[in-house]
Structures are given as structure tokens and as C-alpha cells.
Structure 1
């Protein structure tokens, strides 16, 4: 039997022990060493099997702790279904209150995957911080900004001075803040080029802050720099080069250099939304634009929504030296602090102690399992294509035929699965193919299978 078959055998054995009641929720599973000896296989085989079982939601493993059967799993039951926290109803307007509602929309990471002891320790650190009679620094706590700078040096290839790091209330607020700074510096509404299709909430934030937006098409290498150079004067461009949102393309280094050269020649600002850079499933890591920036044209935006929890509402911008820095910093000062100090203290603790890096290593493995499940299932269906699988927490699924994405989304919602239509990300109508965006960050493999089953049934019923 090959290695794959041996691993599958161990997975099947543990599943059977849970389903027949031999193991129940909370029970410790045999150690990898003990089970390997019992089954006569290599310990690495059991380690791989436990990783798969964890990714499927059967067990929960923690570094340095005993692996245990996951909560909600017992005799005769699959892993507990994920119940949406914030779903307000089906896409077609009908009420949705059942516990079987599955929220597979993008933007929800595996929030519960972080080690409980690390999470509690972070908030104990926040609670133990001394009370003081003072106002918060509008730019953010120096400790958190120092930890962010250090993390960027380790993970993204550049280590900015702490004074260039500014804490914001999420990515949308970061983009709004940068837009406001540009508007005040220019004395008029800035013209901002955006990816088409691209990040909807970011577009709304920039428009609310006074920007005039111009859509630029994207291709397999990201935003089309040739088209960008032909659309006329623009003051800034926002890009998602590490994992284009939502189509998933990765901008190669040659195009990154071309974009930076264009910005240097035109005096434009490049706003790099570096979301999902932590989750690269295939291919070599690509350096951040800010790491390649030799002329001070890049504003780097990052945050903790996809790595920890979007409800923390904490992101950051790294500003280049010069007038843009001064303008955006002035806007931050005028707006005042926006992220509560206890949240910033907790995040600084997670960074300083290495808890965030441990968490990322764990969920990166889980997301890879889910990515592979999507790729395998879609490859078996003629006319269905999966995109955006090189990294991140979502997949774009497109199909041949006449089915409109919004129609498919509505039909899937009536079957209890919430996804997003690819058309919703368009700047210009028709810039995106018919398809859906499916987030898999918070789903177990059985839940992911259910979402894909519903999609295939909807397409089959329509004859597409």
C-alpha cells in the first residue's frame, strides 16, 4: 500500500471510532506514536492523518497538547455544521433562521482555530495593562506598531520605521484615510484607479472619502498596467498584487516593477492591499510591492481580519516618506484614535509571543486541505472551473452555460448555502464572467462538500 493509502486507512479508522461511539467529543485520541505502533505504520503517516482529520473537523490538535475529538462530533454524526453569525436572510429575501444555514461567503477565516490558551493569554495581557489618565495615540500604540514592523520584516521583506506605521479600523477605514489624505494634499477629489472586478467595500470607502474612481481591467497577472497608462492622469491606484481580489491572480515581479516605474514617472501613489499574503498554497512567495519600492510611491495596507477575526476591526498602513506620509498622518490626527487600546495590546501580545505565527502555521495547513478539496471536486465536473486557488481563503467558481451568477446565488440560498455572485465585484458591467465566490476559511470539509453539492445541483436543475 502506498503512503496515500496508509494515511487514508488511519483517517478511516479514527473516523469509525468516533462514529461508533468509541471516542466521543472531548476524548483524547491516541498519540501519534502510540497509534503508529499499534497499526504498524510510520509515525509520519499518523501525523499526516491527524492533520487531515483536523482539517475536516473531526479532531482538534494543538501544539504541545493532546489531540481531542472536536466538540459537536459524536456517534453517527458528521462534524457540526457552521452556523452563520451574521446572516440576515436568504439572497432572495426570504427569512432564514435554521441552524443548517451555511455561510460560505468570502471574508470569514477560521476564527475558532486559534489555540484557546494563546487567545486567553492575549486578553489577560490587555486586562493586566495599567490604567492611565491619558488619551490614545491616534497613530496606534507604539508597542503594536513596533510588532507590526518586525512582522513585516520577517514575512514581507521590508522593515519600516515605527513612525511610518499607522493603525486603522479595518482595511476600508485605511483606504478611506489614505483617500482623505490625498484629497487634502491635492485640494480636490483624487482620481483613483481600481481593479475591475475588485474589492467592493474598498471602493465604497474611497468614494465616501471623496475619490473619483476609474476601473482598470485585470488579467492573469493582475491589473493591466498598459491600460492604466492609457486612461489619463490618475492620482493613485489600489491593487491586490499578492492575490487579486476576487479573481486570485498573482502579479509577477516584472509587472510589479512596471507598475512602480509607471507610478514614479507619473507621480501617482500605489496603494498595496496585501490581504491574504500569509496564505500561499502554491508557488513561491512573491515580495511585497513595498519591498521593491525604491522611490517612495507605495502605501502598504495590511491587517488582522483574515488572519484572526474581522470583528477585531484592526488593520494598518505603512506610509512612504514624504508628502503622502504627512498628509495621511494629519488626517489620522484629525480623525483621532479608532481602535481600542485593549484590542491593540492583545494583538501586540499575539505578535510578540509568536502565538500569531503558530496560529498561521496551523490554519495554513487546514486551508490547504480545503483548497485541495475544491480543486479535486471541480476537476471532476465538465464545464466547471475553479480559480483563485493559489492562495487565500476563497475560490471563484465559473461555468459554461447561461446561468447568471446572481440567479445561482439566489437558488443556493434557498437551499441553505450563502455565497456571493462574481458580478457583484464589477466596476463596469460585464467585466467578470458568470460565477460565484465561495469562502472556505471557516468551513469543515463536509460543509465544503455540501456547498459544492448544492452548486452542482443548482446548475444541473437549470440544465447548465
Structure 2
């Protein structure tokens, strides 16, 4: 039995014990050294198995602590008094099947309606929330998270008002992070802290309105980030929808649409997931420089690229000072932190945004900024990104595999090159709203693709399924329910 087969056996055994309820949420697993000795395999085999199980969402490993089963198997809570669970699996030299593991690649499928662990009754199952926008908040190391907030608590009290632009310590760390991850290094003075992406957009719209002396016209992607669009209009802007194609926003339509600014998410368009090629990026920047258009770059999901080479940020290609770059921590850490940042170009636009920030005052609590600066400075943020990238890649791969055998004619999965969500579309009269309603009855929550459109019907029928915060068993269940709902709705669209 080769190394990969040994890893598969260990992985399959743990999965099986989770599915049948032997292992419950919170139960510790043996250390990799102990389990390797019990099974007579190399410790690296168990390390690789635990790593795969962690990525699949069955267990959570922590440096210096026991690996533990996570929630999501449908079996609540650890059993009282349980310490550790003895694992045994088929290993080289064993005969028979002491654990009934007939097929190590299929250790009890949570999507199988004949599995005794699946009653089919939605009343006894927890809701699986697959609405987009929820990251794996609990994936960060407890040690790193607590250390960040201890740093915030240890920060000296002072009799002063907060800098409206944000704490210098956080802005310095953001400059370093942008240089490492996005290929450009602004000055600290160009970085402004905001209370989430929506507040950042409203801030920029307010600055453009003050600079122009009228309501700015801002082109937006359609379908696109509707909360961001509302933030622009609430700040007095007029939004102009422009369709999205395979390469992002349609530059041909944009070229004949007179606007003052354009909002794009070029790295992973939300929600369709298209990636703007470098040639298109350069064409957009050239158009902006020629027409005096401000480019608002929402660097959405740039941290989570599952397929293909990294694509440079628009701000990294900008030689004419036309890009206002927006990023944040809502999809990498926790949306409840309400912390984002704006990187402004030098010149009149940057000065207007800073003036608007100063007029509004500081909006993100200093303890939050101190904690985030600590996570960035100590490398904890990058370690966290490495962990969740692996997790999200596992889930993305599961979706891709499941959909190849969906049995739904014309079903297409989009947005799987990166990010935390997938878009499922299909031909015919069955609407996303109908599928959403059927799935909700079964306890699975998704979003209707039509809700992201300004011009209705532009993207066809579909749903948006977020997979950032669900375990692999929960994702399997959600896919079962959604695919069944698509089949049923196609058969009976009324």
C-alpha cells in the first residue's frame, strides 16, 4: 500500500466515525505520533491525513493542541466524560476489515438518503446557511486571536481623539501587506481606514460629489455588489449599470457611457466570478486616463485564488493616478469587525477623499485597529490566510466534482476560480427564487442570483451558494438539497 493509500485509509476512517456519531463535535483525536504508532505507519502519514481532514472541515488542528472534531456532522456536542477516541484502521499487513471499511473512498456518504444518519426530516436538522458573504470566522487560531485582543487591551489609554484616517500602526502594516500580496506600496498617507466596504464607497462618492459640485455618475457592474450600489446612491451618486461578461465589465459599453467613475471587482467579480485579464485591465486604465474617469477597484476575494496565476491589482498597474483601491477584512477575518481601507492616489481625488474622511471623523474603534495591526505584524494574519485558502480549495473542489454528476441538463457552475461562493445557473423557466424557496423548506439557505441584478433577467436563472463557513458534510447536504430543488422546479416551474 503506497503512501497516498495509507493517508486515504486514515481519512476515510475518521470521516466514517464522524458520520456515524462515534466522534462528535469537540472530541479530541489522538496525537499524530500516538496514532502513527498504533497503526504502524509513518507519522507523516497521519499528519497528511489530519491536514486533509482539517481542510475538508471534519477536524480542526491547532499548533500545540489536540486535533478536535468540529461541528457539522449533525451530532451535537461532545459526549460527557469522553477524553479521546481509540482509532483503528486497515493498515499494511492487516487482514479483514475490523471497522467495516469496505470502500475507503466512500466511508458513508452524508448525501445518501439510505444512510441511517439521514432521516430526511428537515425538522431535526440544523439550518445550513450557504448565503454568500460569510467567511470561516472560527478558523483563526485561538492563540493568535486572543493575543491580538490582549495587545489591544494593553495599549495605553490616552486623552486624545482618534486620527480620522486611522491608526498609523495599522496603516503601516497595511502598506506592508499590500506590497507583499498585491504588488504596490503606497505611502502611509495614502491609506485611509473605513468602517467596511460600503462605508468606504459612500465616503468616495461623497468626496466626488464635493469635488464635482454635483451628483457623480458612477458606472457599476450588473449584476454586482448591491449593498455597495446602495451605499453610492445614499451618498448622492447616480449609479449606471453596465453588463458583465466573461472578462469582467463590458468595456465596449463603458466606453460609450459618460461617467465620472466606475466601480469594478476585477480580481473576482461579485457575484459571477469573472476575472479581468491583464489586457482588459490596461485598457480600462487607459480609458480612465483619457476620459478623466476615476476607477474604484473593489479588491474583492483577491486573497483566495483557487485556480490560475495571481493577477496584479489595478492599483499596481496604475501609472496615471486614476485608481482608488478598496480592501478590507470582512472576507478574510470577520465581517463584524467592520474594518476596511481605501488607498487613494496622489492629487485632487485623494485629497477630496481624505477631506471627506476628516469631516466624518474616525469610524473604526481604536482597539479593533490595534488588534488588526497586531495580527498583521506578527504574521498571524498570513498564517490564517494559508489555512483558510486550503479549506476553501477543498470545498471548491467538492462542488466541482459534485456538479459533474448532478444529472441536471445545462447546469453550470461559475465563480469557482476563487473566493468563497459558487454561482449555479441553468436554462429553462425554473427561477432562482423558486429554487431558493424549496431549499429553505429543507433547511438550506442560498441567495437568488436575480437579487444582484439592476436590469432583471440579464444573468439568467441561478442561485449563489456560499461555502466559506460550512463544513464539508454541511456542503454535501446543501448541494443535495439545492440540486434536488433545481430538478423539482424544472419539472414543475409553477
Whether TM-score is above 0.5 comes out as yes
Name which of 149, 156, 162 aligns with 2:188.
162
Specify whether residues 378 and 60 from structure 1 end up closer, same or farther in structure 2 by C-alpha distance, changes over 3 A only: same
The aligned residue for residue 423 of structure 2 is 396
Instruction: Compute the displacement of 1:27 (Å).
Output: 4.7
Cα offset for 1:378? 0.8
User: In structure 1, how many angstroms separate the alpha carbons of the residues matched to 2:25 and 2:230?
Assistant: 44
Please report how far the alpha carbon of residue 218 of structure 1 lies from its aligned counterpart in structure 2 after TM superposition: 1.0
CA–CA separation in structure 2 for the residues paired with 1:242 and 1:41: 43
5 Å-filtered alignment, 1:92-111, equals: 100-111=126-137
Structure 2 equivalent of residue 368 of structure 1:
393
Q: Distance in 1 between matches of 2:458 and 2:436?
A: 18
* 1:57-91 deviation line (CA, Å, top 9, x unaligned): 33211234432333646589x9x9xxxxxxxxxxx
2:473 is the alignment partner of 1:424: no
Following superposition, the deviation at residue 98 of structure 1 comes to 8.3
Task: Say if 2:324 is the partner of 1:299.
Answer: yes
Structure 1 residue 38: deviation in Å? 4.5
Structure 1: distance between partners of 2:22 and 2:490: 45
Report the Cα offset of residue 159 of structure 1. 1.0
Q: Say whether the 8 Å CA contact 1:18–1:74 is kept in structure 2.
A: no
Compute the displacement of 1:457 (Å): 1.7
1:405 is matched with 432
Distance 1:337 1:193, change over 3 A: same
Specify whether residues 438 and 20 from structure 1 end up closer, same or farther in structure 2 by C-alpha distance, changes over 3 A only. Answer: closer
Deviates more, 1:404-413 or 1:299-308: 404-413
Deviates more, 1:46-55 or 1:333-342: 46-55
**Residue in structure 2 matching 1:415, options 435, 439, 442:** 442
Q: Which moved more, 1:222-231 or 1:304-313?
A: 222-231
| Corresponding residue number in structure 2 for 1:224 | 250
Asked if structure 1 preserves the Cα contact closer than 8 Å seen for 2:148 and 2:375, the reply is yes
Q: Distance in 1 between matches of 2:476 and 2:24?
A: 23
Cα distance in 1 for partners of 2:478, 2:26 equals 27
In 1, Cα distance between the equivalents of 2:123 and 2:360? Answer: 38
1:83 maps to what in 2?
none
State how 1:185-204 maps to structure 2 within 5 Å.
Answer: 185-204=211-230
Corresponding pairs, count:
446
Partner in structure 1 of residue 288 of structure 2: 263
Residues 190 and 210 of structure 1 are in contact (CA less than 8 Å); yes or no, is this contact kept in structure 2?
yes
Q: Aligned pair in 2 of structure 1 residues 21, 170: CA closer, same or farther (>3 Å)?
A: closer
After TM superposition, the score normalised by the length of structure 1 is 0.91
- 2:388 matched to 1:385? no
- Does residue 47 (structure 1) correspond to residue 47 (structure 2)? The answer is yes
Residue matched to 2:63:
63
Unaligned runs of 5+ in 2: 80-84, 86-107, 111-121
Q: What is the SS of the residue equivalent to 2:362?
A: coil
Q: Distance in 1 between matches of 2:25 and 2:287?
A: 57
Shift of 1:39: 3.8
Q: How many angstroms does 1:5 deviate by?
A: 3.9
Instruction: Provide the rounded CA distance (Å) in 2 between the counterparts of 1:19 and 1:334.
Output: 56
Q: Which moved more, 1:431-440 or 1:46-55?
A: 46-55
Give the Cα–Cα distance (whole angstroms) in 2 for the partners of residues 74 and 135 of structure 1: 47
TM-score by length of 2: 0.86
What is the Cα deviation at residue 128 of structure 1?
Answer: 0.9
Residues 172 and 201 in structure 1, CA contact (< 8 A), matched pair in contact too: yes
Q: Is this contact kept in 2: 1:139–1:337, CA < 8 A?
A: yes
Q: Which residue among 204, 214, 221 is the counterpart of 1:178? A: 204
Aligned to 1:210: 236
| Runs of 5+ consecutive residues of structure 1 not aligned to the other structure | 81-95
| Alpha-carbon distance in structure 2 between the residues aligned to 1:110 and 1:117 | 16
2:466 to 439, 442, 455: 439
How many angstroms apart in 2 are the aligned matches of 1:286 and 1:123? 33
Say which is worse superposed, 268-277 or 45-54, in terms of deviation.
45-54
1:121 to 117, 124, 147: 147
> 1-side partners of 2:427 and 2:420: how far apart?
24
More moved, 451-460 vs 328-337: 451-460
Give yes or no for contact 1:21–1:74 (8 Å, CA) kept in 2. Answer: no
Aligned position for 1:134: 160
Deviation of the 1:131 alpha carbon: 0.9
**1:249 is matched with which residue: 274, 277, 284?**
274
CA distance in 2, matches of 1:151, 1:423: 35
Cα distance between partner residues in 1 of 2:352 and 2:300: 24
Once superposed, what is the RMSD of the aligned Cα atoms?
Answer: 2.3
Aligned-pair CA distance for 1:375: 0.5
More displaced 10-residue stretch of structure 1: 26-35 or 184-193: 26-35
